[in-house]
Chain A
């Protein structure tokens, strides 16, 4: 569990990037942070794994303030996937890269080797491949794999789908969703509302270093005021449903409440079956 209690933070003590932020991320949550660039999302993530210490308030990981823990200690509990995988990858082969995390934590041995073998098989990596020669999506998957190999209870993803094509994006996000289904807490910063709508269960919207909304995904993504303040747009299916609700008199509830393409199609089929209006 990660708790933020009235947290403020700044870089070099000059400019407050985060202002009095409070929220709790419970075990097993899948939370997406949304908002414009400079809203404080990435800073929040850096605070959550101890890379940055709060200037006021407290960040607690499993009840312990991050100010009392080294980042390496937090790394066992909170894995962090950076936007740019090239900053994480530092070994000469995929296998070495996956083993590196175990070496750092002093957990080398047959168990680590077995876990790496399992990850290689699961992701379909070529264990001897040179990481820097892999394509962008595979490098991102490798960076993700090197984190989840260590089985941290929480994984933080800072814009994990940036620069990936649709297929690569789906592969990364399906892996993340699978992890979450197995009990891993997932915290994600994302600008792609389609991805947020498809995968996140809860959304925290931020603007100007403050939390402006925190709730179930579509409750937040349907709130016009929040959308305006955080400068985000809802997923297309949700936007269509909201548009129909506003412009069509007596719009059926099933249509107005649809949030996904499937839900919207099903609702419209129902309307058509009733003879249309």
Chain B
């Protein structure tokens, strides 16, 4: 199983697509998810997103992602369930009720968040960070500084996750028990933010110095020698994504 947001080499359709087009399509699909409240359409998009993941052999990573997003979206869904009295009443509450419409709204939030996140995350699993940066600079005319900042931020997420895992392991070796209630776990993890913050600042500082000494400020749009030509598959993917967005708006 690949590490979180780490590029996995391959030759699938998604791997071969232009990096900028991949990013644009992922953003369009995410927007489409937020433009519709049609649960059936969202479910269809969810299945399509899973099919995309399967096509590039990323099902295990995608299932892992969905679990993470589910944990977060369930909290949102609970808030919606308790604060949106809609449809036929099912459970009375002191301040309103939970209705069939509330259930549908909660379910919509869960499916929407999972569906929107899959294409965005897949982009990072099927594209090298350097290709995303260079392609964004060359084709989307994003200033290199901002493109680099964006990809570096994404790149540092798994680095910091590994750091946190290492710190937790070191504390476990000292006798700290992280298993138990959520409150206990949070209480034990708060002091660990100090070493995480210290190592993060040190790493970021080292990365900034390394970039400076390698002539970061000299980079322009023409510095990269690699070209990212658009192929028929890129135009098709763009057309399909825009069509999905239009359908989402119409529905």
Using CB atoms and an 8 Å cutoff, list the residues of chain A in contact with chain B: 12, 14, 49, 51, 70-72, 75-76, 80, 82, 84, 86-92, 100-101, 104-105, 132, 146-147
CB-CB contacts of B144-170 with A at 8 A, as 1s and 0s?
000000000000000000010011011
By the criterion CB–CB under 8 Å, are A12 and B1 in contact? Answer: yes
Chain A residues contacting B173 (CB-CB under 8 Å) are 49, 51, 71, 75, 80, 82
Distance in Å: Cβ of B204 to nearest Cβ of chain A: 15
Chain B residues contacting A88 (CB-CB under 8 Å) are 170-171, 174, 195
In the complex, A147 Cα to B174 Cα: how many Å?
8
- The total of interchain contacts (Cβ-Cβ below 8 angstroms) comes to 62
Total residues of chain B contacting the partner, CB 8 A:
19
- CB proximity to A under 8 Å, residues B182-207: 191-192, 194-195, 198-199
Chain A residues contacting B191 (CB-CB under 8 Å) are 90-91
Among A75, A76, A87, A101, the residue within 8 A (CB) of B195 is A87
Chain B residues contacting A104 (CB-CB under 8 Å) are 171, 174-176
**Contacts A72-B177, A82-B173, A90-B191 given; 4 further ones with Cβ under 8 A?**
A72-B172, A80-B173, A88-B195, A101-B174
Using CB atoms and an 8 Å cutoff, list the residues of chain B in contact with chain A: 1, 163, 166-167, 169-177, 191-192, 194-195, 198-199
Among A72, A86, A92, the residue within 8 A (CB) of B199 is A86
Distance in Å: Cβ of A49 to nearest Cβ of chain B: 6
Chain A residues contacting B198 (CB-CB under 8 Å) are 86, 132
Distance in Å: Cβ of A255 to nearest Cβ of chain B: 44
Distance in Å: Cβ of B187 to nearest Cβ of chain A: 12
By the criterion CB–CB under 8 Å, are B169 and A90 in contact? Answer: no
The 8 closest A-B pairs by CB, nearest first: A75-B175, A87-B170, A80-B173, A104-B175, A72-B175, A88-B170, A72-B177, A90-B191
Distance in Å: Cβ of A151 to nearest Cβ of chain B: 13
Distance in Å: Cβ of A72 to nearest Cβ of chain B: 4
